[in-house]
Structures are given as C-alpha cells and as structure tokens.
Chain A
Amino acid sequence: MSATMSAPSSTSSAAPALLDLAWRRIGKWGGLCALAIVLVSLIGMPVGLDRRMIIEGRLSLGYLALVWIPLLFGYLVSKRVVLEGVETPDPGARDVFAGLCTGVLSGLGPVLLILGIDNFNLRKPLVNWGPQLLEQLTFGRGIGFGVAAWFGICAVLGLLGSLMHVLSKDVRRVVSFVAYGLLFISVLEAVISDLSEGFGLESLTDAMYAKRGGLTVKSSVILVVVIGVLSILTKGRVKVVTSRYKELQGEERKRASMLLFSGVAGLCIVLPLFLGKIMNELLANVGLFLLLALGLNIVVGLAGILDLGYVAFFAVGGYTTAVLTSAESPFFAPELHFGFALIIVILMAGLTGLVIGAPVIRMRGDYLAIVTLGFGEIIRLLFMSDWLKPYFGGAQGITNVPPVDLGFAVVTGINPRSVFYMVLVFCTLAIYVSWRLQGSRLGRAWMAIREDEQVAEAMGINTVNAKLMAFVVGAMMAALSGAVLAAKVGSVFPNSFMILVSIIILVVVIVGGMGNIVGVLVGSFVLIGVLGGPRQPGLLQEFQSYKLLIYGALLVFMMLQRPEGLVPSARRSQELHQEEFLQDAWLKGEDHDLEEAEAAEQATAGSGAEGADGEGDPT
C-alpha cells in the first residue's frame, strides 16, 4: 500500500499534483468502505439502533453505526507509513482530496442500496431488505434526496477523516477528545444518571439528557466547550504524571503503587454504595467474568494451554454449590452453609481439573484445544442428561439455592450490591494469587513450558505436573465464579454453561492481553461491562443482538492489528514486534554489540554469496 502511495513523484506542478493520486488505493479503500456500509445496513444496525439517541433529534445510534465508517476510511486512506530515512511529504491538499474521493466513492454503497431496495425485492434472503431500511436511508424524504444526501455526507466525512492528518497535533487532540468525550457521555447515559442519582445530582443529568434519551442539543454544545477546554488544559500533563510514576525507584515507587492501589480499592468499595440496582448488577457480572478470565489467563496466558472447555469448571462450581446448599437438590441435599460448601467446591474443582486434565495435558496444540472443547460440552450434556437427572435435575436444573448468610449481611441476587462485594473479595483474592504466581518458580516453569515444552523438560521441569497445576488453579477460580453465580441467581441450569461462555472468556483474555492481569481486568470491563456477557446485558443494551458479531469482529481485528491485547505487557508486545524492535535498534545504532554481531554475520553471509557469484561468473 505504501508503495503505491509513494510512487507518484512530487515534481509536477500543483494542479496535476492534485490529480496525481494513488487511485488504486482510493478505489480499494472506497470500495471496501461502500461494502462495509452496505453490510452494516443489511445486518440491521441502522434500523435496530435508531431508537437510541446520541444527540436528541439530530443523531441516533443507528445513523452513527453508518457514519463512522466513511470517517474511518477517509482517515485510513491518507494515512502514511513513515519510513526512517525516506522523506515523507507533509500531508496536504492532496491527502484531503484523496479522502474526499474515497468518501464520494463510498457513497456508492448506501446509494446503490437505496436504488436496489426501491427496485428489487430481496426480502426473502435478506431480512432487513425492506421499506424500513429504505425510509431510514432516505431520511424519509424520497429517493432523490437520499441519493444526494449520502454522496454529500460520505464526501464530507471522508474529507473530515483525512483532514485529521493535516490538522496540527494539538487541534487533532482536541477534536478527538471532544468526539470521544461526547460519545462516551452519551453512551454511558445510564451509568451517569444512576451515579448522579446516588449523589443527589438528578437535576444536573435531567438537564443534560433529553427525556427520551440522548444528550440535548444545548447540553452537547456546552459539553463540547467544556471537554475542549479540559483537553487543552490537560495537554501534556498526563504524560508527565505517568512518566514521573515510571521514573520512581524502589521504596518511592512502592509507596506510589500502594497509594494507587488503595485509591482503586477505596473506589471499588465506595462507588457501589452510590450506584443503583442495574449498575451494581452489571458490576457483579463483570466481576464474575473477571474471576473466570483470571483463571483462564493462568491456563492460556501463562502456561499456554489452549483450553476451550473452560466452562466445565464453571459448571462444576455452580452445580456443586447448588447440590450442597439447596434444599431442592433431588438426590443429596445436605443444605450446607455457603462457606462450608465453598471449601468442597474448591476441592471438587481441583479434582475435576485433575481428572479432565490428566488425559488432555499430554496432547499439544490443536488436539488439546479440540479435546478440551469436547470435554466442556460433555460436562454440560451430563448435567442435562436423563441419566443423571435424579442427581442434578436434568434440564430443569436445581432451584432454590439459598442466599449466602454471612451473619452481618446476606448476599442475595435481589440485592446486587451484596453480590458485587462478594465477587470483589474473590476477585481480589484471585488477582493476588495470579500476581504471586506470575513471579514464582512455578510461574516461571509455566512460561517456560509455553515457550518451549521440550527444553523446559530438559531443564528438569516436570511438565506434566506443572501443566496439571495450571489446569487445577484455573479450575478453582472458575469454580469460585460458578459458586457465586449459583448463589446470585438462586438456581443452576445446564444452559447457563454453554460453550459460548468459554469462547467469550477466551475473547476477554485475548482482547485484554494474554498473560497480563491488568489486561484481563480491562478486557472484562470493556467486553462484559460495555457489550455484555453471553446472557448478561451490558451498558449498550441496544447491541444485544449484535453482541456476538461485535465480539467476532473485535477478535479478528485484535489478532490482525494488536495481537498483544489492549493492555500489552511489555513482554508480549516486545516479542510480537520483535523484528521491528531489532530493526530499530539496528537503524539507530543504539546497540553497538548487536550491530557488530549482526554485521559479522552479514559479512560472512555476504562473502558466501560473493563466493557463489565468483564460481558462477567464469561459466
């Protein structure tokens, strides 16, 4: 791509230079953009999300789902790869023109769709191919208006996108701050209203948001100004603070970390008091999945065992808790207290981890993934089967799992705040355990196995035992989560433990950053909190029907663009961009020894090549 960009020279005069564009590149990106718009439309996002307002009366989430596409592609088309040592012309009118052309081209997408819907009936194969979509695409003002409007909108958006490269860095920062800020405040309407209610500031949010949702026009103007000013004020400050934190050494750093930690802890404890039921429920769900993800992070991230049947341990935790505490347990109902049950749950999880792990652990790579996938499904089917119905209740599951009576408080699903606090305790425990394990001898052994199992074995590591340990520790964390789920929901059903749960947790771990605790934290907040879990709604409830699509798209995007995850550990990102790193080091001549060794190797390789040439020449 960069080759086609840099090919036209800048020697010709201004007017032809404007037309001297990388047309193939524009064609490609514009075409892709048009396709993306058509795809999103046909998936049904514009119609399905039209109810949710971003700015009252002006912009709905449905239109937003379309308009960000040309903006992004306009940005992408004039983005350049800056090569060291190669002079890159400053972005200018040409790039903006390229963005405009891309925009116009992408306008073909909605326009053709409008004309298509108007003239043909493809409702049978394409559910969303219908008058509703047409109405929306033409803004309810007829075909002609729609066609003209889309060309115009896409052209302007493409232009704006590419304009981002031309603007100075400071302006770009303010603009993106304002855009993200507005979006953020509008999307998080539910949380913000909930929070302000807790603090007794309803009047503020009532003024900010319209009755039927979305920001009012007036408040969005005010917000633009406020966010803009804030972004100018904070410019450079954040970087200074983080770099100062990074420069801290030894004791001081420890103290700063402790301060940070206690701040976060305090927030976790205090904040739920001000939140309403829905938000607390959401936080509790995030916690449940965080617990699962932390366990899977040990198995996949540290030990490198791709376990796709992780949900099995979640199920074991849930069912063990239900059997031990519920009075309705069909076969064996000791009605233990949750605390006692928890000990048995953890033991059971460890045992199941051993039983499932022992045969599986000797396999490698793809085989292991497939076999674990099978085991995950087998466990669910066993719980659902008629054969075990007398023990586990079959498809009806086990109901009436009692709330957790702690003496001073009762943890029950009716009061999500209590559930959140319980999850918080378990998550803290799991984070501490993960953190300690990472730096331990066992953690090192896991990482060695992940890197090179054979050599790890040659170092004297008992790889089978170490991998089993990873399996067992992961299983215990999953079972804890399962136990909390049982107590929270008050019942367990086989269908709560679908294979989808495994996949979603895996996505959380991958998107957050494998082998990285902070990454897993961020991953669960972003994915479970915003998009929602397999059955739990997230902040963007409107996206419920597109959740899996977004999960999939996100996974593909991350794998292609940022395999180290949202919050990469320094280790992962360095390894994944190792070649770039080596190249940089070589180019900058930072590393003299490295350069020398490399040069020596190259010299010998070069002389070898010369030798071959010399032999070839005479003949």
Chain B
Amino acid sequence: MNTEATSSPTALLEFRDVNTHYGAVHILKDVNLAIFPGELVCLLGGNASGKTTTLKTLLGMVTPTSGEVVLDGEVVNHRSISYRVANGVTMVPENRRLFKRLSVKENLLLGAYLRKDKDGIDSDLEYVYELFPRVKERINQKSGTLSGGEQQMVAIGRALMSRPKVLLMDEPSMGLAPALVQQNFELIQQINDEGMSIFIVEQNANMALSIADRGWVLQTGIVVLNDTAEALLANPEMRAAYLGEA
C-alpha cells in the first residue's frame, strides 16, 4: 500500500498512516493518501467504507487517533478547522448544503469568512461571477430558490471564495439528475484545468475516474487499490466491484 511516494515533500495534503476511531469503533485503518498540486484525485468506496470520515479528518472535524495529517508540510492533527480553511483546505459539502435563506452573495461571502482582504474578496467574487455567469444574475436571490444545477455552482463558488489550495468535494454527483451530474463533472474538470487541486470522494466510480488523474479505493477503512485512473478503470477487480460489470 505504501508503494507510492506519499512522503514526497511537494504533497499539498497528506495522510500518513492515519487511524481514526468513533468511540471504540475503528474506522480508518492505516490510510495513506497524498494530493499533489494541480492534481485531480478521487477516493472511491461504497457505503460505510470510511469516505466521509476521511474528508472529515482532512478538514479537522475528526481528529485521528494515530498517524499524521499533513497540510503543506505542516502536521495539522490538532489544528482547528478554521486554521486549515485559512491555510488552503475547503470542502464542498455533500448535497451542496447552501445557506438557503441567505442570498447567493451572502453565501459566497461566507466562503470568504476567514479572509480580511476586502479587495481580494471583491476580485474573487468577480472571478466566481466570470466562472458562473448564471450565478451573477442571481446574486440577490435566496440561494434556496435556485435550481439544483445553480446551487451546485454556488456551492463550488462558495468554496473557491476561501482561495483554497485543495478543494475537497463530497459526493458531487449526489442528488443531481444525470444530465446535471455530467455538467457538474465538466465544471470540476474546468476548475482543475485552471490549476486547482481537487480531491473528490465519490460512489459514482465511473464518473469520477473519467476525469481523475489518480484514485484510491477504500473498503471498510482500508485502502485496497491505489493506481492511476486508467489502470483502475481497466482493473478487473475494480470493474466487478464498482463499475457494475460482471
């Protein structure tokens, strides 16, 4: 499992032999991950495989019982969420989860909550509007009144507003119609093309691997596969278990 260069000094975000527990229950077992700048990587797995726990541990909602979470060369095991967000990790939550009663603009500004540079925030707002012209038309609308696709744009825009180095995405295909899933993944790829490192956690393996560079497969808290996206797509074991082919 440790075949990859996980300890490479250039990794943006890294797991080194991470173990986590919920109470006495062992969730993640010696997990090693590494996300390098500019990469689009994905973590695949079924229900209860530990995907969400991995995300929570990366962001700091869960503290590992052993091992190290490394952000930009610094061990951040005991750093708060705020610290990690301020230093370049942001999550796009599952199902978008916008602040529905707040306007689109307020949602975006909340993404930049930890930033104090007003000019930077303004220029980043412009960047988001440029990226999603449809969002710009609705800045004063309550975000709960947007359609599913637009909400996804706002959710991504909100995450980008913190000027992250790594974007964590929890199940971006969840709760969207197939046409919108396609659109959403194209969007993710577009953002990645502009240089953003992205870490996707997905059940929809086909979709995720079609745009990712590399991927891991998690099963009951253990990384069982770790390869490039092409290799994973070609892997017969993988095809049987996750891609719905006998």
Residues of A with Cβ closer than 8 Å to B? 441, 444-445, 447-448, 451-452, 454-462, 571-572, 574-575, 578, 581-582, 585, 593-594, 597-598, 600-601, 604-605
Contact = CB atoms under 8 A, between A and B. Distances in A.
Given A593-B134, A598-B147, A601-B180, A459 B110 contact: yes
Given A451-B100, A458-B81, A445 B179 contact: no
B81 A460 contact: yes
Chain B: interface size category: 35 or more
Contact of B144 (A447, A462, A575): A575
Nearest to A445: B113
A462 B111 CA distance: 13
A572 B102 CA distance: 9
A610 B92 CA distance: 33
Contacts of B177: 600-601, 604-605
A575 B142 contact: yes
B147 A459 contact: no
B26 interface: no
Contact of A444 (B59, B110, B145, B180): B110
B99 A447 contact: yes
21 contacts: A444-B102, A445-B110, A447-B102, A448-B110, A448-B113, A451-B101, A451-B102, A454-B93, A455-B97, A458-B81, A459-B113, A459-B162, A460-B114, A462-B80, A575-B101, A575-B144, A578-B145, A594-B147, A597-B148, A600-B177, A601-B147
Contacts of A462: 80, 82
Contacts of B37: none
A447 B93 CA distance: 18
B150 interface: yes
A581 B100 CA distance: 14
B149 interface: yes
Given A444-B106, A459-B162, A600 B179 contact: yes
B85 A460 contact: yes
Contacts of A598: 147
B125 interface: no
Contacts of B99: 447-448, 451-452, 455-456
B71 interface: no
A601 B147 CA distance: 10
Contacts of B134: 593
Contacts of A448: 99, 102, 110, 113
B51 to A, nearest CB: 16
Interface string B132-163: 00100100001011111110000000100010
A86 to B, nearest CB: 25
Contacts of A594: 146-147, 150
Nearest to A581: B145
Nearest to A572: B101
B178 interface: yes
- 3 tightest Cβ-Cβ pairs between the two chains A and B: A460-B85, A597-B147, A451-B99
A439 to B, nearest CB: 10
Nearest to A604: B177
Contact of A574 (B109, B137, B145): B145
Nearest to A515: B101
A245 to B, nearest CB: 19
Interface string B105-121: 01001110110000000
